[in-house]
Amino acid sequence: MTTDLNNSTSRYRNLMLHVLCWAVLIVVPVFFHSSDDPWPQVWNRYMRWLGTPLAYMLVFYINYLWVVPRFLLKKRDWKMFLLINVGVVAFGLLMMDIWHLLSQNFLPELHNKMRQGGGGHPSRVPRYFWAVLTLSMFIALTVAVRMIQRWQHIEEARKEAETARAEAELSNLRNQLNPHFLLNTLNNIYALIAFDQDKAQTAVSELSKLLRHVLYENQQDFVSLSKEADFMRNYIELMKIRVTDNVKIDTNINIQPNDSTPVAPLIFISLIENAFKHGISPQGTGEIKIDLSQAGGEITCEIHNTCYPKRENDKSGSGIGLEQVSRRLELMYPDRYTWEKGTTPDGKHYYSKITIKKEEK
């Protein structure tokens, strides 16, 4: 429906542009005359001249509506295009001559004054030369207009195809993210069942709070930053259930409760998953620091954690989370984000910092 609306708007804009251009060509010359000339004489002179722009219009629209689209753009038949336009130009010259003859019959007084003033009849050869040259220029103009329109249509179709592809890819990423998130969380709960059933029950309860956000909010392109911040808090609380007191978790989510800044849902969760997956040692120690803030139109999520290799028996993830984050950032925030990540020189800590800039209007 949006495409139909855009096409309708484009057709209306083109129609108005055509009307404006021809109005300038046809109407404006009426006002360029000597102030000493009587209005009837000005009007008669204008009517005699009117056949010329009408011939231009005829040549233009024969090419615009039929010759150029069919023989040049569709068939690329230059010979037929040139042959037809020879006839079109001849027809335009004939029209101009017929209008000239009619003006002699209907406006004889003007012609008599011109002849008495020494104007007489201009030589046909120069007149035909300039007429053919002008008509040829209008044909060239028609080709240029049609070529530009074709390029615009191709570019619009390319953009629509690119948008559709990006939307399909985002939808596919969201569909992957839901089971990926759920699988990781269920693996955490599964690990809890073996040594602390009470915590496992609490984790199931916390998980139910998160599923609504994952199943419903994640289907939107954007959610409010305050909702996403609440989801992150709940998710971190769920992850805390599994870890021991020897893991130091510092959370600073500095987001106002009513912050309506739009943000892609679950865009930072994979970073937090990664921090809990690699930031805790097999002995149950480690440090994780999570900061989320919004200031000056920029959203910043910064995470630091100790770095431990993933254990072989750890099935808390498949490694696709960070790849999804990177692809979603490229699709949803092109040229509006930075992502700094890596390990410290000693290899003991990992950091990840995503900054999303506000879209400029």
Is 45 domain-assigned?
Answer: yes
Whether residues 345 and 326 share a domain: the answer is yes
DSSP code of residue 280: B
Confidence (pLDDT) at 207: 72
Whether residues 244 and 319 share a domain: the answer is yes
CATH of the domain at 317: 3.30.565.10
DSSP code of residue 68: I
140, 159, 178: which is the final residue of a domain?
159
CB atoms closer than 10 angstroms to residue 200: 19
Is 187 domain-assigned?
Answer: yes
Domain limits at 343? 170-357
What b/e string do you get for 108-121 counting C-beta neighbours within 10 Å, with b at 16 or more?
A: eebbeeeeeeeeee
Domain count, the chain: 2
Closest listed residue to residue 304, CA positions, set 253, 344, 264, 254? 344
Q: Are 236 and 290 in contact (CB under 8 A)?
A: yes
Is 164 domain-assigned?
Answer: no
Is 165 domain-assigned?
Answer: no
- pTM for this predicted structure: 0.52
Whether residues 135 and 46 share a domain: the answer is yes
Which two structure tokens, joined as six digits, stand for 124?
Answer: 């046909």
Per-residue pLDDT tens, the chain, 361 aa: give them. 445 555 667 777 878 888 888 877 777 776 666 556 666 666 667 777 777 888 888 899 889 888 888 888 887 888 888 888 888 888 888 888 888 777 666 655 544 544 444 444 555 567 778 888 888 898 888 888 888 888 888 787 777 766 666 665 555 555 555 565 666 677 777 776 777 777 777 777 767 667 666 666 656 778 899 988 988 888 888 788 777 888 999 999 999 988 989 998 888 888 888 898 888 888 888 999 999 999 888 999 999 999 886 655 554 444 556 787 888 888 888 889 999 999 988 888 999 999 999 876 5
Whether residues 55 and 194 share a domain: the answer is no
Whether residues 144 and 245 share a domain: the answer is no
Whether residues 231 and 108 share a domain: the answer is no
The CA distance from 190 to 23, in Å, is 77
Which two structure tokens, joined as six digits, stand for 75?
Answer: 């068939």
Which two structure tokens, joined as six digits, stand for 100?
Answer: 């000239």
CB atoms closer than 10 angstroms to residue 204: 15
The CA distance from 102 to 115, in Å, is 17
- Please report the beta strands in 7-164, taking only residues with DSSP state E, as ranges in sequence order: none
Q: Are 270 and 325 in contact (CB under 8 A)?
A: yes
Is 180 domain-assigned?
Answer: yes
Dihedral sign from CA coordinates of 148, 152, 153, 157: positive
Whether residues 130 and 185 share a domain: the answer is no
The CA distance from 19 to 308, in Å, is 71
Q: Which helix (H) or strand (E) holds 82?
A: helix 78-106
Whether residues 219 and 111 share a domain: the answer is no
94, 125, 159: which is the final residue of a domain?
159
Report phi then psi at 116, rounded to 5: -65, -30
112, 129, 159: which is the final residue of a domain?
159
Confidence (pLDDT) at 152: 83
Which two structure tokens, joined as six digits, stand for 300?
Answer: 């910043």
Which two structure tokens, joined as six digits, stand for 28?
Answer: 């404006």
Whether residues 145 and 179 share a domain: the answer is no
Whether residues 265 and 300 share a domain: the answer is yes
Is 258 domain-assigned?
Answer: yes
Q: Are 301 and 271 in contact (CB under 8 A)?
A: yes
Is 286 domain-assigned?
Answer: yes
Dihedral sign from CA coordinates of 107, 108, 112, 113: negative
Whether residues 184 and 155 share a domain: the answer is no
Is 277 domain-assigned?
Answer: yes
Whether residues 209 and 144 share a domain: the answer is no
